[in-house]
Amino acid sequence: MPVIAGGAAVAAAGIAIGLKALDEREIPKTAILAATFFVVSLFAVPIGPSSVHLLLGGLVGLFLGVGAFPAIFVGLLLQAVMFGFGGLTSLGVDTVNMALPGVALAALARPLMARTAPATRGLIGATVAALAVLGTAGGVTLALALSSADYVPALKIVALTYVPLAAVEAVITGFAIAFLARVKPEILPWPKEARP
């Protein structure tokens, strides 16, 4: 399937760039976020006609940048191997869907966040998280629609379940970023010269 192959190619590129950019001082942080993603996204809550779990794409993207690709890939790989979630064939597509929106949005938001007060940073972080979830929803929908036209009517279900998820992730990420921006701003990888 071209979708699976394309997803795998993009994921491989993202992982390669992420690993290359990985500073040794970033390793523990990357591992902690990979572990957090692995654990948190195992737990699902029933919402409406389906069931969802946290994705944390925005949070991981804000903390790690391109490093989100290897982190999320490791989390997904372990989920697939140990619990049979997701499956190995769709691993590439899933990695791209979860990592790419967060990485791209975080790259856009970082220069903005570097110039603002901690509370505003939290707000921007929340926006990034919400948009990253919607980006993941869009990616999932696109991948399904490209795979088979039968999936198109199910857009309704996707919209129904991802919108509340976006709100929840916005709150979690917003508080996490606002808290860390105030207490440990050096954790967040802003451009150094722009830090107030």
Partner 1 sequence: MNHVRALLGLFAAFALAFVLAMALALTGATSAQAHRLKLFVSVDGMTVSGYAFFIGGGRPQDVDFVVKDAAGAPVHRGRTDEKGAFAWTAAAPADYTLSLDTGDGHFADEKIPADRFSLTAPAIAAAVQAPAETPPAADSPASTAAPSPATIDPETLTRLVEAAAERAVARQLRPLIEAQNLAEARLRFNDIMGGVGMIVGLAGLAAWAMSRRRRSGGGP
Q: Which residues would be at the binding site for partner 1 (CB under 8 A)? A: 22, 24-25, 27-36, 38-47, 49-53, 74-75, 78-79, 82-85, 140, 143-144, 150-151, 153-154, 157-158, 161, 176, 179-180, 183-184, 186-187
Cα angle value 106/110/111 (rounded, 5°) = 140
Question: Residue 108 or residue 195: which is nearer to partner 1 going by CB?
Answer: 195
In the numeric block, which tokens belong to residue 15?
């992982």
Question: Residue 75 or residue 132: which is nearer to partner 1 going by CB?
Answer: 75
Q: Considering the complex, what minimum distance in angstroms separates the CB of residue 151 from partner 1? A: 5
Question: Residue 75 or residue 109: which is nearer to partner 1 going by CB?
Answer: 75
Find where tokens 């989920």 sit. 79
Q: Considering the complex, what minimum distance in angstroms separates the CB of residue 115 from partner 1? A: 21
Question: Residue 12 or residue 108: which is nearer to partner 1 going by CB?
Answer: 12
Q: Considering the complex, what minimum distance in angstroms separates the CB of residue 30 from partner 1? A: 7
Q: Considering the complex, what minimum distance in angstroms separates the CB of residue 150 from partner 1? A: 8
User: Phi first, then psi: what are they for 162, rounded to 5°?
Assistant: -85, -25
Q: Report the distance separating Cα 166 and Cα 126, nearest Å.
A: 9
DSSP of 29-57 = HHHHHHHHHHHHTT-EEEETTEEEE---H
Rounded (10°) angle between helices 118-147 and 155-183: 150
Q: Considering the complex, what minimum distance in angstroms separates the CB of residue 33 from partner 1? A: 8
